[in-house]
């Protein structure tokens, strides 16, 4: 079986799957991961996608099915083997979310007894706050009750949200939006945010600017009352369409570009599109400053073979590559040089201020040095604490609203002088 990805109906699919096993649940097992109980900053879309991808090997190994529910929970069912076959995946996920209280709370279960810590997985893993295990042969009814209650609560919550908030994007709405994008002037919707070098005793020095389209303003203009991000797969399709439209506007100079180097956050498929080739011919070849292509880590590992080909394709044309969307726990696990990337971008989270584990801190510092202190960008820095934290780990490159405010604060004297000169010329 394959992972279920139609999130609009995934709860119903899960119940239908379990009901089909009613007459033949021998040797079937399940685990329910309560990821909806993680802190909000630890259950962002890309983090939940990474969590689901941890089961890819098991999906190939067993007759199995994976369901990622609308609240972020994961339910994995498999036939044959034992609970111990899936236990290492749960252990890795607890490590991935080890900064979250859910993974460390008393009673979180799974790996709290010595035998499991030493690798002996003969005993049944312990259910707890992080996950619940089921042997369907003896616990089928318990699983059914648990899932029926969960699905009922999720469906009621979704109904309340739809009646009081934005409607989710649907295929018909996507088709209408893509048609509108073909003629939409993106100049008013394009934004730029600088990436700056910040040394301990100096102000921010811009190195390049990331260009992007303001999604919320786009939705408000073209499809008011619609949540463009409600459906993962429709939003991914929209993002690719938006990529190509932005490249077209840049190639024809419909969108103004700041002086100096720029970066564009693009999907892998976009880099092989006719729009990218036109952009490369019309815009890139006439530009003196480099263009940096930002690629999401989750997309790279989802299509690693495609990435390796595209990496050579764009680097041969003079582009630089930045790997975006890294959680700080990813950094020790990836090798920037082996991936052929010039930069990596790590997402700041206020939870990082609570990193008290000295071993974890040293591991992260070593990973930053290995990647290169002038090659790691700490993004989404909205406060001075984010900058101080990054500098304490040796990071020199930053991006975020706090950096923007520092740059704006440095401009008023020049703006005032220009206005004075304009008044004098009248």
The CATH number of whichever domain residue 220 belongs to comes to 3.20.20.450
Note whether 176 and 294 are same-domain residues: yes
Q: Are residues 157 and 177 in the same domain?
A: no
What's the pLDDT score for residue 48? 87
**Statement: residue 361 has pLDDT above 50:** yes
Between the CA of residue 258 and those of 47, 210, 253, 320, what are the distances in Å? 32, 10, 12, 18
Residue range 36-68, pLDDT digits in tens = 899 888 888 878 888 888 898 899 899 999 999
Residue 223 within any structural domain of the chain: yes
Residue 2 lies in a domain: no
Does residue 98 sit in the same domain as residue 232?
no
- Residue 1 located in a structural domain: no
Nearest Cα neighbor of 339 from 324, 317, 349 is: 324
Q: Are residues 70 and 94 in the same domain?
A: yes
Under a CB-based contact definition with an 8 Å cutoff, are residues 264 and 291 in contact? yes
Distance CA 416, CA 395 (A): 34
Query: What are the contacts of 419-425 at 24+ separation with CB within 8 A?
Result: none
Which residue bears the tokens 């103004």?
A: 256
Final residue of a structural domain among 164, 189, 224: 164
Give the 3-state secondary structure of residue 191.
Answer: strand
Do 118 and 191 belong together in one domain?
no
Where does the pLDDT of residue 161 fall: very low under 50, low under 70, confident under 90, or very high at 90 and above?
low
Residue-level pLDDT at 115? 34
Q: Do both 60 and 99 map to the same domain? A: yes
N- to C-terminal Cα distance for the chain? 75
What does the pLDDT look like over 307-316, one tens digit per residue?
999 999 999 9
Q: Give SS3 for 21.
A: coil
| Coil/strand/helix, residue 237 | helix
- Does residue 156 sit in the same domain as residue 76? yes
Residue 157 within any structural domain of the chain: yes
Does one domain contain both 155 and 188? no
Phi, psi of 63 (to 5 degrees): -75, 105
- Are 151 and 172 members of one domain? no
Domain match, 119 and 181 both: no
Other Cβ atoms less than 10 A from the Cβ of 187: the count is 11
Domain boundary among 118, 143, 164: 164
Q: Are 227 and 257 members of one domain?
A: yes
Q: Which two tokens stand for residue 57?
A: 């090997």
Q: Which of 133, 164, 195 is the last residue of a domain?
A: 164
The DSSP element (H or E) to which 62 belongs, if any, is: none
Range of the domain at 104: 7-164
Residue 332 in any domain: the answer is yes
Virtual torsion, Cα 278, 283, 289, 291, nearest 10 deg: -40
261-265 and 205-213 beta bridge pairing? parallel
**Structure confidence at residue 75 (pLDDT):** 94
| Residue 396 within any structural domain of the chain | yes
Q: Tell me how many domains the chain contains.
A: 2
Same domain for 72 and 34: yes
Question: How many residues are present in the chain?
Answer: 426
Categorise residue 220: left if φ over 0, alpha if ψ from -120 to 50, beta otherwise.
alpha
User: What confidence tens digit (pLDDT) does each residue in 77-130 have?
Assistant: 999 888 989 999 999 898 888 888 888 764 444 433 333 333 333 456 777 889
Parallel, antiparallel or unpaired: strands 226-227 and 131-135: unpaired
């Amino acid at each position: 079986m394959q992972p279920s990805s139609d999130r609009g109906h995934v709860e119903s699919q899960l119940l239908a799957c379990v009901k089909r096993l009613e007459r033949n649940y021998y040797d079937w097992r399940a685990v329910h991961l309560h990821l909806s109980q993680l802190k909000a900053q630890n259950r962002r879309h890309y983090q939940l996608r990474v969590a689901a991808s941890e089961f890819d090997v098991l999906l190939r190994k067993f007759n199995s099915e994976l369901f990622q529910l609308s609240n972020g929970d994961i339910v994995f069912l498999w036939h044959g083997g034992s609970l111990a076959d899936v236990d290492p995946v749960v252990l890795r996920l607890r490590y991935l979310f080890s900064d979250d209280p859910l993974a460390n709370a008393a009673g979180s279960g799974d790996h709290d007894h010595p035998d499991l810590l030493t690798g002996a997985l003969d005993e049944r893993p312990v259910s707890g706050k992080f996950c619940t295990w089921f042997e369907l042969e003896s616990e089928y009814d318990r699983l059914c009750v648990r899932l029926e209650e969960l699905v009922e609560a999720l469906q009621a919550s979704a109904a309340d949200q739809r009646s009081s908030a934005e409607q989710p994007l649907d295929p018909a709405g996507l088709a209408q939006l893509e048609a509108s994008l073909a003629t939409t002037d993106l100049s008013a919707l394009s934004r730029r945010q600088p990436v700056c070098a910040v040394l301990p005793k100096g102000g921010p020095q811009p190195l390049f600017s990331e260009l992007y389209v303001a999604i919320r303003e786009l939705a408000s203009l073209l499809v008011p009352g619609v949540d463009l991000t409600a459906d993962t797969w429709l939003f991914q399709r929209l993002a690719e369409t938006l990529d190509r439209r932005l490249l077209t506007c840049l190639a024809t100079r419909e969108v103004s570009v700041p002086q100096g180097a720029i970066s564009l956050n693009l999907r892998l498929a976009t880099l092989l599109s006719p729009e990218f080739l036109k952009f490369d011919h019309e815009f890139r070849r006439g530009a003196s400053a480099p263009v940096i292509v930002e690629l999401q880590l989750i997309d790279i590992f989802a299509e690693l073979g495609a990435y390796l080909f595209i990496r050579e394709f764009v680097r041969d044309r003079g582009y630089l590559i930045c790997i975006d969307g890294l959680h700080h726990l990813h950094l020790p696990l990836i090798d920037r040089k082996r991936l052929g990337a010039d930069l990596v971008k790590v997402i700041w989270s206020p939870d990082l201020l609570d990193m008290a584990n000295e071993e974890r801190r040293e591991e992260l510092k070593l990973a930053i040095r290995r990647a290169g202190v002038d090659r790691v960008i700490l993004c989404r820095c909205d406060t001075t604490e984010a900058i101080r934290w990054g500098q304490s780990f040796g990071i020199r490159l930053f991006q975020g609203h706090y950096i923007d405010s520092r740059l704006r604060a440095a401009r008023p004297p020049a703006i005032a002088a220009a206005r004075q000169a304009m008044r004098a010329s009248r």
